[in-house]
A and B are shown apart, each in its own frame.
Chain A
Amino acid sequence: MERVASLDELQPGGRKSILIDDTPALLLRIGDQYFAVEDVCSHDGQPLTDGPVTGFEITCPRHGARFDVRTGRPTRMPATEAIPAYAVELRGDGIYAGPAEAGNPGAASIAAARSQPEAAAAAVSSTGVSAGGASTGNGAAELEDSEIIEALRQVIDPELMINIIDLGLVYAINHGEGKVQIDMTLTSPACPAGPQLVQQSKMVLERLPGVTEAQIKLVMSPPWTPDRMTDEARDQLGIF
């Protein structure tokens, strides 16, 4: 482990670019907890350094990929590969970071004994798995439209940088017995991002617990117009 910062260097919400084993990494303080991840987005190979942090997630400033800083796992497209998360320790003379232990991968753990981030991280992943396993029988009944909509918000139009829900590209959602079918359109019939949006929509839906198959149907009628965007999307594009 290498000393990477002093104890009072970072305020809550602060960050510092560091080197761990000659690899650029980012040290983050969230509340009283410290995390370190490799400072490279696994999608485009460029730095995450200035990416905004919400909760325990850092967002890549270029294409909107997100990573859980506790584990390095990707939580949003276009990233699909994890980034290395490092172990962080508070010692008497400073903050130390180094490669995560083999038996304890991703638990880039932290502050003092008072916090329990590992337990939290473990709980998140295990509920995810067990919910998926247990709910396959009646999962379709439990699946809410809102979950599907939330999932589809992760699919972002790479040119406009706005998700397909807020753009108003999704026309209809049908689901039942583990199958989801959505009707969606594109901003223009020749949209070059079309195949990517369809593929990503399918991926995020099939990742939902209880969903075994997702079908994406492209429809061009009625044609999309900018009126279909939400107000938030308009604001983002500067249309008033």
Chain B
Amino acid sequence: MSTTAAPPRPWSAAHLAEFFSARREPAWLTERRQQACASLCDLSVLPLDPEEYKRIDLRAFRPEKFNLVPAGRASPTATLMQHRGEFAGRVSHVDGYCVSATLQPSLLDRGVVFCGLSEFVDKHPERSQQWLGRAVAANADRFSAWQAAFWTGGTVLYVPRNVDVETPLYSLMALATDGAADFSRTLVILEEGASATLLEETASADPMAAGLHVGAVELLLAPRSQLRYVQLQNWNDKVWHFAHQAGRVAGDASLQWTVGGLGSKLAHIHQDVHLDGRGASAQVNGVTFATAKQLISYYTQQGHHAPNTTSDLLYKDVVRDRARVVWRGMIKVDHEAQKTDGYQRNDALLMSDDCRADLIPGLEIEADDVRCTHGATAGRVDEEQLFYCMCRGLNRSEAMHMIVEGFFQRVYDRIPVELVRDTLSQAVQQKLGLGG
């Protein structure tokens, strides 16, 4: 739709030079940032891909209103997940900088790394050079270039060969300062046969503080590894959220990826799952609840690059008031990816007259022996169901809540971590305006 996004004036080359000198990073990284900055300048004058951005109204987006803030000062207030469960480790970020990182000593001894990205670059330069940017290319579009040039922090999880991290790990990214631009990214590396669960949450400390998040998520799964990754996006409704998220799944590895989209003023997420090796599988779950004037958008791709791979995507969206949900999905099957089993489905529940859902599934298949199915539905809350619930003594809003909860249930059923189910359900209750 609109083309004016980045880079605005505060993000010039001079700014970048100043930014580098303050960061003292290895030469390879500085070079990469400079390349990304060059891509950013090139891409910013080109229009955004209409296929992906046509329905995203960026006309009200003023990047010059946001700026990087000096290293983290405040600690965030309570968030949805933070104190609810036992975690084997926690990493917290405020305004894009890591403020604390802890990990159980027993896991440290087994070689697990769970820390801030800057620390990881310091202590494991070879690994970071090898892995960083493997799944999300800096020159994919202007937002990925912007992120690659200016990232300040992020969460890294590294699990060595055959290590099984049973207890979930927790990562928090918070915005505290008004007008802050947060450029944190997530990098997860599982070596062969490793397994882990990472819960990640984004939150605003101040409900009135405007913010910008330009993020990236990279999930790198070696053969036979298993990752469960949950990201709950719960910013306040004044935050602009852009992210490139990608998972690369090697042979016989399995990825279970759950996204919750609740907060933000406008969120656009480009989510790719690449199945690179024979027998790789991925399950992608999404829960979205947009209210007021929010716009929450997903551009998902399931790429099958090897034979016998499985992908299964299920999104459920609830839209209310004047909010909009946009989803453009694609299953892409390469020529050599025979015996692929791909599924994608997105259901939207429309709760008001003025809300809108644009759901566009897609298939692009080059192989000739596959099973691929897709679908999208949009509908209103059934008055008869409401009436039925109200006959049983519920008032209208309780009945509405029960129906919304039931609508999300199919996704909840696929989430194995009880904490995540509870958290999502509580967040949904809060948004519906009922207790919680």
B328 at the interface (CB under 8 A from A): no
CB contact between B59 and one of A39, A45, A81 (< 8 Å): that residue: A39
A46 at the interface (CB under 8 A from B): yes
Tell me, in angstroms, the Cα distance from A23 to B58 when the chains sit together: 10
User: Does B358 contact A45, Cβ atoms closer than 8 Å?
Assistant: yes
User: Does A19 contact B60, Cβ atoms closer than 8 Å?
Assistant: yes
Per-residue contact bits, chain A 21-46, to B (CB 8 Å; 1 contact, 0 not): 01110000000000000011000011
Tell me, in angstroms, the Cα distance from A22 to B322 when the chains sit together: 14
Would you list which residues of chain A between 1 and 56 have a CB under 8 Å from chain B? 17, 19, 22-24, 39-40, 45-47
Chain B residues closer than 8 Å to A81, beta-carbon distance: 354
Tell me, in angstroms, the Cα distance from A47 to B1 when the chains sit together: 8
User: Does B293 contact A45, Cβ atoms closer than 8 Å?
Assistant: no
CB contact between A23 and one of B55, B60, B358 (< 8 Å): that residue: B60
CB distance from B265 to the nearest CB of A (A): 8
B382 at the interface (CB under 8 A from A): no
Per-residue contact bits, chain A 107-131, to B (CB 8 Å; 1 contact, 0 not): 0000000000000000000000000
Residue with the highest number of chain A CB atoms closer than 10 Å, among B1, B55, B59, B60: B59
Chain A residues closer than 8 Å to B55, beta-carbon distance: 45-46
User: Does A17 contact B59, Cβ atoms closer than 8 Å?
Assistant: yes
Asked if A46 meets B293 with Cβ closer than 8 Å, knowing A17-B59, A24-B57, A24-B60, the reply is no
Chain B, residue nearest A24 (CB): B59
How many A-B contacts if CB must be within 8 Å? Answer: 23
User: Does A45 contact B356, Cβ atoms closer than 8 Å?
Assistant: yes
B278 at the interface (CB under 8 A from A): no
User: Does B60 contact A45, Cβ atoms closer than 8 Å?
Assistant: no
Tell me, in angstroms, the Cα distance from A7 to B202 when the chains sit together: 44
User: Does B356 contact A23, Cβ atoms closer than 8 Å?
Assistant: no
B320 at the interface (CB under 8 A from A): no
Chain A residues closer than 8 Å to B265, beta-carbon distance: 22
Tell me, in angstroms, the Cα distance from A19 to B59 when the chains sit together: 9
Per-residue contact bits, chain A 69-96, to B (CB 8 Å; 1 contact, 0 not): 0000000000001000000000000000
Would you list which residues of chain B between 34 and 69 have a CB under 8 Å from chain A? 54-55, 57, 59-60
Chain A residues closer than 8 Å to B293, beta-carbon distance: 23
B324 at the interface (CB under 8 A from A): yes
Residue with the highest number of chain A CB atoms closer than 10 Å, among B57, B265, B293, B324: B57
Tell me, in angstroms, the Cα distance from A40 to B56 when the chains sit together: 12
Chain B, residue nearest A46 (CB): B1
CB distance from A74 to the nearest CB of B (A): 14
Tell me, in angstroms, the Cα distance from A17 to B4 when the chains sit together: 13
Tell me, in angstroms, the Cα distance from A24 to B59 when the chains sit together: 6
CB distance from A42 to the nearest CB of B (A): 9
Chain A, residue nearest B326 (CB): A45
Chain B residues closer than 8 Å to A46, beta-carbon distance: 1, 54-55
Tell me, in angstroms, the Cα distance from A84 to B1 when the chains sit together: 20
CB distance from A100 to the nearest CB of B (A): 16
Chain A residues closer than 8 Å to B358, beta-carbon distance: 45
Chain B residues closer than 8 Å to A23, beta-carbon distance: 60, 293
Chain B, residue nearest A47 (CB): B1
Chain B residues closer than 8 Å to A40, beta-carbon distance: 57
Chain B residues closer than 8 Å to A39, beta-carbon distance: 59
Per-residue contact bits, chain B 1-28, to A (CB 8 Å; 1 contact, 0 not): 1000000000000000000000000000
Chain B, residue nearest A84 (CB): B322
CB distance from B401 to the nearest CB of A (A): 28
User: Does A47 contact B324, Cβ atoms closer than 8 Å?
Assistant: no
Partner-B contacts on A (CB < 8 A)? 17, 19, 22-24, 39-40, 45-47, 81
With A23-B60, A24-B59, A46-B1 already in contact, 7 other A-B pairs whose C-beta atoms are closer than 8 Å: A17-B59, A22-B265, A24-B57, A24-B60, A46-B54, A46-B55, A47-B57
Partner-A contacts on B (CB < 8 A)? 1, 54-55, 57, 59-60, 265, 293, 324, 354, 356, 358
Q: List 23 A-B contacts (CB under 8 A).
A: A17-B59, A19-B59, A19-B60, A22-B60, A22-B265, A23-B60, A23-B293, A24-B57, A24-B59, A24-B60, A39-B59, A40-B57, A45-B55, A45-B324, A45-B356, A45-B358, A46-B1, A46-B54, A46-B55, A47-B1, A47-B57, A47-B59, A81-B354
Q: What 7 A-B pairs come out closest when comparing CB atoms?
A: A24-B59, A22-B60, A19-B60, A24-B60, A45-B356, A24-B57, A45-B55
